[in-house]
């Protein structure tokens, strides 16, 4: 049975400039696989070691992100086991980690993919932002993610000057979108509202020296509950988040040439000038007096 070709793939050369950005796109494409079709739909579009083993098991030397927008199928990974894949799922493939996937013969599927490499991608893995143990995640049919793939495909087709650097940036944006969507999906509405309430309290009390346990009491929750929810939602403890807000406010005050570092420390209710200076340098890499001089320099 012959199937209409509804696929695109492009394998790309990688130049020195792209390598310097530490994340670069190797290839990208999409494919509409009809029910009952062989998989991959057009094997000759791909290197043989990619196409011949994708459904039976393979190990890659790169990262890939595969987004399923219709249909269903299965994924099997050595660190995750076998599970069904459906529309709205993302499959994250890691270098050196064996995996296999294919659409169901009853439904087929629509897939978009991008393959990439680089030291920055490895650091995201090492930092635990993406892991083979969570190789499949459900993000739904998301407009931002679809727009990322559409930009990637368009650049792969047109290949304008500098396209490889731009592709690397879009791949990183795609990963950020996926991570943000997945993180938000694990946060219920009540937790989200609590975080927004606490942010408002922090903003209102930014100059008062209020402590985090008092903020928790004002929000009507236990400190331990606030700590758990805030860290899950923002990636920071309430103290770390509030301290960053206070340092940003201190930077605003330090821009006034008529206000000294000592006065800023007092206005922000820090314990003393030396404690304020130590925290400021820890967060910004510069002492308050150095930062104040730097913004006045031409």
The confidence score (pLDDT) of residue 2 equals: 36
Predicted confidence at residue 186, as pLDDT, reads 61
Which residue is it, tokens 């012959």? 2
Mean pLDDT along residues 211-238: 89
Instruction: Please say if the pLDDT value at position 202 is more than 80.
Output: yes
Q: What is the pLDDT of residue 187?
A: 58
- Nearest to residue 88, comparing CAs of 175, 176, 182? 182
The chain-wide mean pLDDT, for the chain, equals 90
Exposed / middle / buried, residue 46 (Cβ in 10 Å: 0-12, 13-18, 19+): middle
- How many Å is the maximal CA-CA distance in the chain? 81
pLDDT digits (tens, 9 = 90+) for 33-87: 999 998 988 888 888 878 788 888 999 999 999 999 999 999 999 888 899 999 9
Whether residue 195 is predicted with pLDDT greater than 90 in this model: the reply is no
Q: For the chain, what is the radius of gyration of the CA atoms?
A: 25
**DSSP state letter for 80:** T
pLDDT at 188 over 80: no
Query: Do 281 and 261 form a contact (C-beta atoms < 8 A)?
Result: no
- Per-residue pLDDT at 201 exceeds 50: yes
Q: Collect all residues with Cβ–Cβ distance below 8 Å to 230 and sequence separation of at least 6.
A: 195, 198, 236, 237, 238, 241
Q: What pLDDT is attached to residue 4?
A: 39
Q: How many helices (H) and strands (E) does the chain have?
A: 12, 8
Band (5; pLDDT cuts 50, 70, 90): low
The pLDDT of residue 145 is: 95
Domain 189-296 has CATH 1.25.60.10: no
Residue 1 in this model has a pLDDT that exceeds 70: no
Q: Name the pLDDT band for 236 (thresholds 50, 70, 90).
A: confident
Q: Please write the tens of the pLDDT for every residue from 150-179.
A: 999 999 999 999 999 999 999 999 999 999
- The confidence band for 192, taking pLDDT boundaries of 50, 70 and 90, is confident
3-state secondary structure of 40: coil
pLDDT value at position 185?
Answer: 66
- Per-residue pLDDT at 52: 81
Quote the tokens at residue 269: 């209710």
Would you place residue 196 in the very low, low, confident or very high pLDDT band (cuts 50, 70, 90)? confident
Domain ranges of the chain: 7-185, 189-296
Which of the four pLDDT bands, split at 50, 70 and 90, describes residue 297? low
Q: Report strand pairing: 136-138 vs 89-93.
A: antiparallel
Sign of the alpha-carbon torsion through 167, 92, 87, 29:
positive
Cα separation, 123 vs 73, whole angstroms: 30
pLDDT greater than 90 at residue 113: yes
| Residue-wise pLDDT tens digits, 18-40 | 899 999 999 999 999 999 998 98
- Closest among 279, 286, 15, 30 to 154, alpha carbons compared: 30
Confidence of residue 3 (pLDDT cuts 50, 70, 90): very low
Question: Residue 298 — very low, low, confident or very high, per pLDDT cuts 50/70/90?
Answer: low
State the CATH architecture for 7-185.
Answer: Sandwich (2.60)
Non-local (6+) Cβ contacts of 235 within 8 A are none
pLDDT recorded at residue 15: 86
Q: Which residues contact 188 (CB under 8 A, 6 or more apart)?
A: none
């Amino acid at each position: 049975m012959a199937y209409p070709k509804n696929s695109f793939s492009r394998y790309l050369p990688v130049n020195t400039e792209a390598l310097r950005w530490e994340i670069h796109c190797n290839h990208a494409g999409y494919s509409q696989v009809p029910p009952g079709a062989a998989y991959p739909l057009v094997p000759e579009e791909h290197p043989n070691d990619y196409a011949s083993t994708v459904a039976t098991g393979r190990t890659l030397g790169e990262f890939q992100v595969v987004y399923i927008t219709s249909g269903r199928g299965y994924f099997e990974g050595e660190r995750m086991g076998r599970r069904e894949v459906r529309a709205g799922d993302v499959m994250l493939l890691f270098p050196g980690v064996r995996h296999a996937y294919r659409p169901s013969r009853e439904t087929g599927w629509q897939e978009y993919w991008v393959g990439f490499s680089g030291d920055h991608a490895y650091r995201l893995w090492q930092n635990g932002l993406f892991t083979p143990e969570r190789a499949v995640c459900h993000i739904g049919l998301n407009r931002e993610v679809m727009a990322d793939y559409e930009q990637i495909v368009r650049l792969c087709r047109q290949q304008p000057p500098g396209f490889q650097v731009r592709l690397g940036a879009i791949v990183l944006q795609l990963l950020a979108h996926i991570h943000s969507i997945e993180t938000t999906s694990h946060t219920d509405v009540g937790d989200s509202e609590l975080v927004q309430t606490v942010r408002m309290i922090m903003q209102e009390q930014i100059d008062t020296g209020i402590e985090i346990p008092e903020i928790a009491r004002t929000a009507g929750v236990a400190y331990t509950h606030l700590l758990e929810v805030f860290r899950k939602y923002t990636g920071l403890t309430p103290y770390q988040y509030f301290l960053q807000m206070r340092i940003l406010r201190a930077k605003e005050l330090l821009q006034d040439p008529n206000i000294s570092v000592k006065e800023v420390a007092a206005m922000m209710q820090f314990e003393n000038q030396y404690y304020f200076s130590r925290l400021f340098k820890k967060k910004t890499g510069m002492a308050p007096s150095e930062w104040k001089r730097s913004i006045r320099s031409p």
